[in-house]
Structure 1
Amino acid sequence: MPSLSWTSARRIAWREMRSSKGKFAFVILSVAVGVAALTGVRGFSGAFRTELLIRARSIMAADLAARMFAQPTPKEQEGLEAMEREGLHLTAVTEMVAMASAEHSLDPLLVSLKAIDPAVYPFYGTVDLTPKAVLRNVLHDDTIVAAEDLLIRLNLKVGDRVKIGDGLFTIAGVVTNEPDRLSGSFAAGPRVIITRKGLEDAGLIAEGNRSNERFLFELPARSSDQQVAAWKERLVALLPEAQVTDYRETNPALTQGLDRATGILSLMSLVALVLGAIGVAMAMRAHLQQRMDTIAIMKSLGAGSSQIMRIYLLQTILLGTLGGLLGVTMGTAVQRFLPVLLRRLINVQPPFTLDWHAVGTGLTAGLLTTLLFTLPPLLDIRKVRPILILRRAVEQTDEPIHKAFWARLRSNWAQLLATVVILLGLSLIAATLSDSAQTGRTFAVGLGGVLVALLAAAAILLTVLRRFLRGAGLALPSAIRHGLANLYRPGNPSAALLAAVGLGVMQITTVFLMQQAVVRELRIVSSPKIPNIFLVDIANSEVEGVRKVLTSQPGVTAEPELIPVISSRITSVNGVAGKDLRLTNFPRRMLQSIQLTWSDELPPGTTVLQGEWWKPETTVPQVAIGQRMSQRLGVTLGSHIVFSAQDKPIDAVVAAIIKSDGQHAYSRAEFILPRTPLQGFPVVWYGGAHVDPKKVGQLERAMFLAYPTVTVIDVAQALETIRQVVLQITVVIQFLSAFSIFAGMVILASSIAGTRYRRIREVVVLKTLGATRSRIVTVFSIEFAVLGLVAGFTGVIFATVVARFLQRQMSIEFHLPWITDLAMMAGTAVMAVATGWIASHHVLGQKPLEVLREE
């Protein structure tokens, strides 16, 4: 046979595709669904995450913030000006306490002042006012806006005037929500917002007045997470005495939600990729084995393996391209219409933009995975022996499966090389999709390990089944025995199919389990029962009375949380005096104002990251320290911290490193000790409770009448914003997980259905020997069901192991999902039977003579 040109190879490939449209529909469908899930999930999740990050920025009103207790030095000011020239925008926010009184009253009231530049502040988000207005339009040098409790306490209304320092200011509006409320200081007294010029005119900026300077920074447009981190590092180096935070540190619940959403959405993208590859591999393998007769004839006419491989390589590229184009179209449609479907649920409308990079990534991933996973069947062409194929001979062996396996392993070095190439290619794709080389390597190694384990498990199960049928199997009904024996009949790719379906089940189950775990955690932090108002400066004698006031209010919907606070300072850490400590991103003067609290039990919303919590009856001075504070002080488990309260030293050993969800009263407690070591010290109590946002004003009035010295800090609207964002993350994760799972089920179904061409000759032989339709249906149904059960069993076992590992990495509590596992096993069996017969039912109508004439 003369040399086969690429043009001729393309014609043959296209002619064969046109004559076998049904078979190639499985390949195109597998590629299309995988690419559609990849581009749709990745495209929408990327746009959704961008919108969420904008929300996260609005909770801090900036990209970065630096809290200081002094004005920048000339050198620091020079560095900030240099950053401004590079595109960084900044504005200063001064926070301090002051005395305020009504214009015609001598009764002063302690208030929490916040001085801003209304022309710039806030960079993100808005300050909500009543009556509705834009902050910059109503806040001038002679006006203020204030929280409702100021009006309640001073019996004022909008339009009245208040004396603050040396100035008189008109109340221009009531603040109902400010974007950075959670990142600002929680000083005692009602919140009052004033201009910076108004603060100067009031004469409150003077030597000896204590103020808190917070600098807000807006980065150049479209700054990535890496750029934000780089700017932050520069600010930390420039302002060593400042606490520098970025928008992802504003609220632990939101940060945790974003991180976990990113992780699960990235996982779904990779799962879609692998599931598509599984479908391609199974469908192409079935097709090439169906074409062995044609290949043998071409070889007998003088065609070389390389020439024949050229035909099927072009066929693979064409199929991958068609499937990729169809998948990108479907994925783009998903990205376009998904926000419309979810609009009412998440109230977020990410802008639709055709991301050509995502389109290119989807096409490339689809084509590359198609090529990678068709390498092994393409290499099988080299081993086709025309004389054996033409005689319809099938090589058989009576050797045990494990011996035959090792023999094939030694002779199939090219297949091993192809497997390595596949893993390297998937590693590259995974690294590209996740923007992490480490993720790519981990993904490839994990996938390779799971594939090997699944193949080994399939081989072992088939060996056990074979031995069982040789012994006790004779007692089984013949139809059941025949159906089970079909799993290891010559030419049946049971091990490969079990491994492929098992891997698919594992991927789908892993996504489902991770989605369930992440959503469960997000629902905890988005619970409507977490505190949304906080109480400051409760005297020891007022605790029970405050608790009664809270529980008696109709708007309070959860048990109040009250915590004791003892003022202290840190004198040394591990024997090093406080003045000599090397601190990270923590002003040294803050060592003089440390707040201690006690708790015998692990507080709500708190997680132990390292170490363990003490027993309630312990008397040994121990301390549980917040993770961020431990990094700033440079302490670890076993470190000694000496606190001084009322000039009495407390030498405590670090027993636990903890992390708070930021939603409870204990969230601002960085140092928690057992009760006994803190007995006898003066205590001030703080509290928190969840109140219906519409009834916060009613609670403030009741608390003011009963305990006028207790300050109620309303953060209900700020926390409700966070809660809504977390709920939106939950809905999107659930919806996209369902989409990925559905895509995976379609691909798995097409993989099982792709084996229908193997059954035609067997059905004909059985019919020729006198088998009835019901007999054939019973035999095949048993084979499909066992295949599904075994694949489901191995898949859910590996999924449970993988999910447990991933949840541990994400600090999520693991729950054994035995109900889910049983449901997945049963569901896989049902799916295997259903899809097997949906694709193969017409095989029963095949007339024996039609096939026997081909023999």
Structure 2
Amino acid sequence: MASLSYQSAAKIAWREMHASRGKFFFVIMSVAIGVAALTGVRGFSSSFRATLLTRARSILAADLSARATRQPTPGELAGLAQIEASGVQVTPVTEMMSMASSPAAMDPLLVSLKAVDPARFPFYGTVDLDPADSLSDVLKPDTVVVGEDLLLRLHLKRGDGLKVGNAVYKIAGTVLNEPDRLSSNFSAGPRVLMSREALDASGLLAPGSHAGQRFLFRMPQTGLRGTVNDAGVADLKEKLEKLLPEAQVTDYRETNPALTEGLDRATSLLSLMSLVALVLGAIGVAMAMRAHLQQRLDTIAIMKSLGARSGQVIKIYLMQTLLLGVLGGLLGVALGVAVQLVLPLLLAKLINVVPDLHIDARSVLTGLGAGVLTTLLFTLPPLLDIRNVRPILILRRAMDEGSDDPFVTAILKKITTNYAQIGAAVLILGGLAAIAATLSDSATVGKWFTIGLVVVLVVLLAASAGVLAGLRWFLNRTRLNLPSSLRHGLANLYRPGNPSAALLAALGMGVMQITTVYLVQQAVVTELHVASAPNLPNVFLVDMTNEEIGGIRGILKAQPGVTREPELLPVVSSRVVELDGRPAAEAKLTNFPKRMLQSVSLSWSVTGALPEGTKVVSGAWWTEEQAKGADKAPLVAIGERQAQRLGLKVGSTITFAAQDSKFTAKVAAVVRSDGQHAFGRAEFLLPQASLAALPTVWYGGVHVDPALVGQLQRTLYTAYPTVTVINVAAALETVRAVVIQITYVIQFLAAFSIFAGIIILASSIAGTRYRRIREVVVLKTLGATRGRIAAIFSIEFAVLGLVAGLVGVTFANLIANRVLHSLNIIYRPLIGTSLSAVLLIGCLTVATGWVASHRILGQKPLEVLREE
């Protein structure tokens, strides 16, 4: 035969595909589902994550924030001006305590003053006002907007005057919600929001004043979607930490731990699901294409008998594989884009986030390339086997050309005698590593993913072979005592030519991946629901005395709208005089002004146990015996960020000075708070015995129905007028809504990946259809009825499903345990779910097997025998 061009090979391949297009349905679907997962999931998750990060920025009202306790020096102002000249938007926010009064009553009230530039503030989010209006239209040099509690306490209304400092301002409205309320100073007193011109006119901002200063920064937006480069945010943060050494620099990822942890975990899970879809698609392609080539053995043998060389035949089926990969890839891209565009409509009633959707060319090209590449890679071994097809096959035919060796033995023999297959295996692993590295943006992840995949496949093959050997041993000893249909169905699993071990490994891999995704997403969603629980404190109480605590507890218990016990935090004011035996003035601190050590808050856990919402990062919480002896050997637990700033670790010592007493405490634990409980504000936690003799002021948090917060404020003000009530209900509801929206998206994407797995499992079972046709013909020729054949196949399908389910679910739990451990999430074995999954996989395998094979029962023996 003359040389065969790629164009001629493509024509032959296309004609064969067109004539047998029904046979390629599962092949194309396997590729399409994998590509759809990559393009749809990655594209939508990218858009959704960008939208969520915008919400995260709104909690800070900026991309970055630099907080200081003093006004900037001329040198620092010059540095900030250079940053602004580079394209970064900068706006200052001044926060301070002041006295305010009504010009008529003149009874002063301590207020929390906040001065902003209304033309720029906030960079993200909005300030909600009553009446509804924009901040820039309301805030003028002679107006302010105030919290509703200020009107209540001073008996004022909108339009009245408010005296602050040396000036009187008109109250233009009330503040309902500030986007950065959670990231502002934890201040006492009702809110008064004014423009910077109004602050200058008040005379309060004198040299040396103790006003807190925050600088908000907004990075230049890039691209068509107006995204922000995270690397640029990190670079700016590093530059600000050098420019403002005494400022606390925070970026939008640190504004709320629960939200940012949810985003990070969601991102990790989305990456996992993309890799899962890729592997499942590759397995489905390999199984289905191998079955297709086995059906074409006659055609290949005829072409060789007519003079075609192996290379020419391989070229035809290589082009066919490429065409299948491209068709499946294009269909997958269309499905993926449809998922990305339709998903917001499907979730419209569940989430109120509308992502800035677009067709991400990178996701499309990545998905298409991955689909075509995996198709080519995983069909290399069967394509190379074409070289071993002998023309004599058309004259002397067998149901199977392989030996009767066990599957694993046959695989090992094949590997050790066929160097081309070794090269193909290396190429497959290298290609998978490259794809995994591209999807995860990490060569390390790609390497370990590939190594893990090989280990899992080898273990699954070994486990499958072991199970089959056990079934054979069982059958040999009970053969005469079993019903014939059951005996025949079990024997089918290890008949010559039946790739049961390979099929079990493929099914087990699919089951393992699907179950792993389900277990991980359940754990992540459970964790997120805990972080977004609807009864976390959303109203904070400030400046309560020991004498008032009992009465306040009674009011909160009787007040309608309070959904749970309040979290009350005792605070003792102190200062740090030594760190690890070195005077505080000589300590080396990280981005923390030394003067802040002159005013720190000490507290103790009211219950004596680790406070809710707090977990130990290193060290250990003290025992009851240690707490009782804390007056003689004081212990302290310190927040993780505070420990980093002060350079402390477990075993370090801190010397505190409070009132006339001075004591040294040993760091017993470093803790991390979720930021949503009152104890998240405690800098240092000690046993109560260490602080028993020191004066205490109480702070608290309680969850109240947002609609009834005003009623609680009025009740508390009537009974305890000196207690300040700070309402952050609206801000926390925003955070909670965002976290819940993440859980819905994770659940949907997990369901999408599970659906992809089911389709690909079906393709794996459908790949055995060719062998089953011949078996049906033989059985019918020998007199078997349809019912008997159906019973035999059903038993075989059920055993395959149950064994694959058992093996896959077992490994899924092991892998989920490791994945969740790496995400710092508690692994809880779902025994009932795992057992149900095994039974469900058994039923699903039987159903899928018959969907793919039901037509073979009607196959007439003569039709097949004529083709022989």
Aligned partner of 2:678: which letter? A
Give me the whole-angstrom Cα distance separating, in 1, the residues matched to 2:658 and 2:94: 29
Question: CA separation of 1:398/1:120 partners in 2, compared to 1, >3 Å: closer, same or farther?
Answer: closer
Contact 2:613 2:674 in 1 (8 A): yes
Q: After TM superposition, give the deviation of residue 297 of structure 1 in Å.
A: 2.5
Give the counterpart of 2:387 among 382, 403, 410: 382
Per the alignment, residue 463 of structure 2 pairs with 457
1:468 aligned onto 2:474: yes
Q: After TM superposition, give the deviation of residue 405 of structure 1 in Å.
A: 4.5
Per the alignment, residue 621 of structure 1 pairs with 634
1:379-458 matches, cutoff 5 A:
379-387=384-392, 390-393=395-398, 394-395=400-401, 397=403, 399=405, 403-458=409-464
Question: CA separation of 1:416/1:800 partners in 2, compared to 1, >3 Å: closer, same or farther?
Answer: farther
Question: CA separation of 1:450/1:400 partners in 2, compared to 1, >3 Å: closer, same or farther?
Answer: closer
Q: After TM superposition, give the deviation of residue 484 of structure 1 in Å.
A: 1.2
Contact 2:94 2:213 in 1 (8 A): yes
Aligned partner of 1:284: which letter? M
Give me the whole-angstrom Cα distance separating, in 2, the residues matched to 1:474 and 1:262: 56
Give me the whole-angstrom Cα distance separating, in 1, the residues matched to 2:317 and 2:727: 69
Give the counterpart of 1:692 among 700, 705, 711: 705
Q: After TM superposition, give the deviation of residue 480 of structure 1 in Å.
A: 1.2
Aligned partner of 2:842: which letter? A
Q: After TM superposition, give the deviation of residue 34 of structure 1 in Å.
A: 1.4
User: Which stretch has the larger CA shift, 574-583 or 814-823?
Assistant: 574-583
Corresponding residue SS for 1:407: helix
User: Which stretch has the larger CA shift, 210-219 or 817-826?
Assistant: 817-826
Give me the whole-angstrom Cα distance separating, in 1, the residues matched to 2:561 and 2:333: 51
Per the alignment, residue 160 of structure 1 pairs with 160
Q: After TM superposition, give the deviation of residue 388 of structure 1 in Å.
A: 5.3
Q: After TM superposition, give the deviation of residue 395 of structure 1 in Å.
A: 4.4
Corresponding residue SS for 1:182: helix
Corresponding residue SS for 2:220: coil
Q: After TM superposition, give the deviation of residue 85 of structure 1 in Å.
A: 1.4
Q: After TM superposition, give the deviation of residue 331 of structure 1 in Å.
A: 1.0
1:143-542 matches, cutoff 5 A:
143-221=143-221, 222-387=227-392, 390-393=395-398, 394-395=400-401, 397=403, 399=405, 403-542=409-548
Give me the whole-angstrom Cα distance separating, in 2, the residues matched to 1:797 and 1:563: 45
Aligned partner of 2:334: which letter? T
Q: After TM superposition, give the deviation of residue 790 of structure 1 in Å.
A: 1.0
Per the alignment, residue 224 of structure 2 pairs with none
1:814-833 matches, cutoff 5 A:
814-833=827-846
Dislocated runs of 4+, deviation >6 Å? none
Q: After TM superposition, give the deviation of residue 650 of structure 1 in Å.
A: 3.1
User: Which stretch has the larger CA shift, 323-332 or 615-624?
Assistant: 615-624
Aligned partner of 1:24: which letter? F
Q: After TM superposition, give the deviation of residue 275 of structure 1 in Å.
A: 1.6
Contact 1:147 1:192 in 2 (8 A): yes
User: Which stretch has the larger CA shift, 433-442 or 700-709?
Assistant: 433-442
User: Which stretch has the larger CA shift, 622-631 or 277-286?
Assistant: 622-631
Per the alignment, residue 85 of structure 1 pairs with 85
Corresponding residue SS for 2:347: helix
Q: After TM superposition, give the deviation of residue 310 of structure 1 in Å.
A: 0.8
Aligned partner of 2:613: which letter? G
Give me the whole-angstrom Cα distance separating, in 2, the residues matched to 1:487 and 1:14: 35
1:549 aligned onto 2:562: no
Report the count of equivalent residues.
855
Give the counterpart of 2:741 among 724, 728, 738: 728
Q: After TM superposition, give the deviation of residue 552 of structure 1 in Å.
A: 1.2
User: Which stretch has the larger CA shift, 432-441 or 528-537?
Assistant: 432-441
Corresponding residue SS for 1:783: helix
Contact 1:616 1:674 in 2 (8 A): no
For residues 265-306 of structure 1, what are the alpha-carbon distances to aligned partners after superposition, in whole Å with 9 as ceiling and x for unaligned? Answer: 222222222221121111101111221222223233332222
Give the counterpart of 2:612 among 604, 615, 623: 604
Percent of aligned pairs sharing the same letter: 64
Q: After TM superposition, give the deviation of residue 675 of structure 1 in Å.
A: 1.9
Q: After TM superposition, give the deviation of residue 573 of structure 1 in Å.
A: 2.3
Aligned partner of 1:243: which letter? Q
For residues 497-519 of structure 1, what are the alpha-carbon distances to aligned partners after superposition, in whole Å with 9 as ceiling and x for unaligned? Answer: 11111111111111111111111
Contact 1:33 1:276 in 2 (8 A): yes
1:769-808 matches, cutoff 5 A:
769-808=782-821
For residues 584-610 of structure 1, what are the alpha-carbon distances to aligned partners after superposition, in whole Å with 9 as ceiling and x for unaligned? Answer: 222221111111111221111112222
Corresponding residue SS for 2:99: strand
User: Which stretch has the larger CA shift, 449-458 or 203-212?
Assistant: 203-212
Per the alignment, residue 17 of structure 1 pairs with 17
Per the alignment, residue 834 of structure 1 pairs with 847
Contact 2:404 2:496 in 1 (8 A): no
For residues 521-578 of structure 1, what are the alpha-carbon distances to aligned partners after superposition, in whole Å with 9 as ceiling and x for unaligned? Answer: 1111211110000011111111111111111110211111101111122222222322
Contact 2:130 2:175 in 1 (8 A): yes
Aligned partner of 1:456: which letter? A
Aligned partner of 2:548: which letter? E
Aligned partner of 1:391: which letter? R
Give me the whole-angstrom Cα distance separating, in 2, the residues matched to 1:390 and 1:279: 32
Give me the whole-angstrom Cα distance separating, in 2, the residues matched to 1:38 and 1:119: 42
Aligned partner of 1:498: which letter? L
Give me the whole-angstrom Cα distance separating, in 1, the residues matched to 2:525 and 2:404: 52
Per the alignment, residue 753 of structure 1 pairs with 766
Q: After TM superposition, give the deviation of residue 32 of structure 1 in Å.
A: 1.0
Give the counterpart of 1:634 among 617, 641, 647: 647
Aligned partner of 2:550: which letter? E
Taking structure 2 as the reference length, what is the TM-score of the superposition? Answer: 0.96
Please report the RMSD computed on the Cα atoms of aligned residues, expressed in angstroms.
1.6
Per the alignment, residue 586 of structure 2 pairs with 580
Contact 1:484 1:782 in 2 (8 A): yes
Give the counterpart of 1:675 among 688, 705, 724: 688
Question: CA separation of 1:490/1:647 partners in 2, compared to 1, >3 Å: closer, same or farther?
Answer: farther
Contact 2:408 2:461 in 1 (8 A): no
Aligned partner of 1:602: which letter? L
Give the counterpart of 2:574 among 568, 571, 589: 568
Question: CA separation of 1:264/1:234 partners in 2, compared to 1, >3 Å: closer, same or farther?
Answer: same
Aligned partner of 1:67: which letter? R
